Amino acid sequence: MGMKGKIALGAVVGIVVIGAVSANSGDDSDGGSESSGKGSSSSAQAKPGGGEEKDSAEAAEEKKVAFEGDGQFQVGSDVKPGTYRTSGNDDGMCYWERAKDASGEMDSLLANDNVTGTSYVTIKAGDKIFKSSDCNDWEAVDTKAKGSPASKMAGDGGMFRVGADIAPGTYKSTGNEDDMCYWERAKDAEHGLDSIIANDNVSGSAVVTISAKDTYFKTSGCTDWKKTG
């Protein structure tokens, strides 16, 4: 279809709320939420420190794998509408897209992104195709599950669920160079312009207050974030 990645919606080059390249569905439905505990010991990108109940918890997590990280899936038959998560994508090669038809043309694109770390994506009932390339397997997200919110997160960790992966509050990332640090507060996981509450590309120090009303926080190319208040 002529575009493998690179035109990542809602990310990369886009200073203050103009961080998107292609159009999106613009639906306002709240994208979904966090599945089992992703909040961490040292950083919100890591899995929680071990515990006695890990065996059963990990078995349950295994069952949540919904579809593989490579392929084109028809919404409704291959994959159900809902919110999904891929994590542990460390090489920056993971690319996904939501499409309104299977033509492969630019006009069919609803949302897309290149992922390092974790991404949450809400696939809507009106979507026709979900494409994933070089990503780790996608897990179904349990919107009711609680996590253990961390107070720090990896600066290249991707997306974090507020109140489950990370705690609300004010976070600081220092020593960023050349406007490569991108952050975004989002109200859902649809990845459209309407999803963005606020965003910025930053050099030097970045300070962001994540509200308890936010649903996700996205970070790419930043130094690690630490909660300061």
pLDDT value at position 146? 77
The pLDDT value given to residue 55: 54
Q: Distance between CA 116 and CA 90 in Å, rounded?
A: 6
Q: Does residue 208 form part of some domain?
A: yes
Number of structural domains, the chain? 1
Residue ranges making up the domain that contains 142: 54-227
Q: Which one-letter DSSP state was computed for residue 55?
A: H
Mean pLDDT of 202-229: 96
**Full-model pTM:** 0.74
Specify if 190 maps to a domain. Answer: yes
pLDDT 10s digits, 80-128: 999 999 999 998 899 999 999 999 999 999 999 999 999 999 999 999 9
Residue 36 lies in a domain: no
194 phi and psi, to 5 degrees? -70, -15
**For position 63, what pLDDT does the model report?**
53
Q: Tell me whether residue 62 is in a domain.
A: yes
Q: How far apart are the first and last CA of the chain?
A: 46
In a domain, 218, yes or no: yes
Amino acid identity of residue 89, one-letter, is N
Of the candidates 193, 175, 155, 151, the one whose C-alpha atom is nearest the C-alpha of residue 42 is 151
pLDDT in tens, 40-75: 333 455 433 444 444 555 544 455 778 999 999 999
Residue 92 is predicted with a pLDDT of 87
**pLDDT value at 153 more than 80:** yes
Structural domain includes residue 223: yes
Q: What percent of the chain has pLDDT over 70?
A: 72
Residue 209 covered by a domain: yes
Is residue 222 domain-resident?
yes
| pLDDT given for residue 65 in this prediction | 78
pLDDT per residue as tens digits for the range 12-43: 333 333 333 333 333 434 443 333 333 333 34
> Coil, strand, or helix at residue 169?
strand
Between residues 157 and 7, the one the model is more confident about: 157
Give the residue-averaged pLDDT of 131-156: 91
Give the Cβ contact number of residue 148 at 10 Å. Answer: 15
